[in-house]
Amino acid sequence: MARIIDLLAAGRTFSFEFFPPKTDAAQLSLGRTIAELETLHPAFVSVTYGAGGSTRERTRDLVVWMRKETNISPMAHLTCVGHTRADIDAILDTYQAAGIENILALGGDPPTDPADVRPSDYEYALDLVEHLRNRGGFSIGVAAHPEGHPRSASRAADRKFLADKLRHADFAITQFFFEAEHYVRMIDELAALGVSKPVIPGIMPVTNRGQVQRMAELSGAVFPAWLADRLDGVDDADEVRRIGVDAATELCAELLAAGAPGLHFYTLNRSTATREIYANLGLPVS
């Protein structure tokens, strides 16, 4: 396996994100998706972590399975919310024993049910990053929001917090967005703060308009009018995916031309759109 910071130092990375399945049928479907995407030779894949640690065991099991049964380097998400330092150390012990070398350190969302709220020793993602750095043994990533975190007081404040995280972390992966200018501006603003560590743009092709629009609102991304115009009046699911893939391909090409260190695809546990974008970009497959 490989540390992501070393992969980035060697060249551009192309990577995917999955979420832990909740049912046996979803597990089988994800297994097929992983097998299909393995032919694209991803540098790494990431596995999400539910609100308040709600998918803690499923995330761990999927990451460890991928480490043992595939040739893909997995990166596990970890969140501050609902975890003590002892909780985090126990999780990290499991990952180190399994040979997991990459962690994405996140603030995380609180559980939707107040009854599920658990104590936390961390207030911000930076606290978790510092814990990971002091412990050693992991390549550490953090999240970035090109259009600003929805809870940030301002874009300037958001950039300061991101710069502080990146001074301790190795790299960042962005939330998805739809226009390259947001990413380029963020990189310029980080550079003005003296930070030049790799920031990998996150890409989510529109395959279901309503779903992606809801997710964009939650993450602070604007669903642009030009993309809405392309999709207006389109009811056929295949045509929606074609339009979404075309728009995502255009975005990827612009980002690569602007010098992005790679691309990270939010797959929603499906492979079709990502494989189509790869083909459109002429990226290697087997």
Q: Active-site positions?
A: 17
Residue 141 and residue 104 in contact, taking contact as beta carbons nearer than 8 Å = yes
Angle at 203 between CA 38 and CA 275, to 5 degrees: 35
What proportions of the chain, in percent to the nearest 5, are helix, strand and coil?
Answer: 50, 15, 35
Residue whose tokens read 């046996």: 24
In angstroms, how far is CA 138 from the centroid of its own chain? 17
> How far apart (Å, rounded) are the C-alpha atoms in residues 187 and 261?
11
113: CB partners within 8 A, 6+ apart: none
> How far apart (Å, rounded) are the C-alpha atoms in residues 108 and 275?
29
> How far apart (Å, rounded) are the C-alpha atoms in residues 56 and 194?
35
83: CB partners within 8 A, 6+ apart: 53, 118, 120, 121, 122
212: CB partners within 8 A, 6+ apart: 204, 206, 223, 244
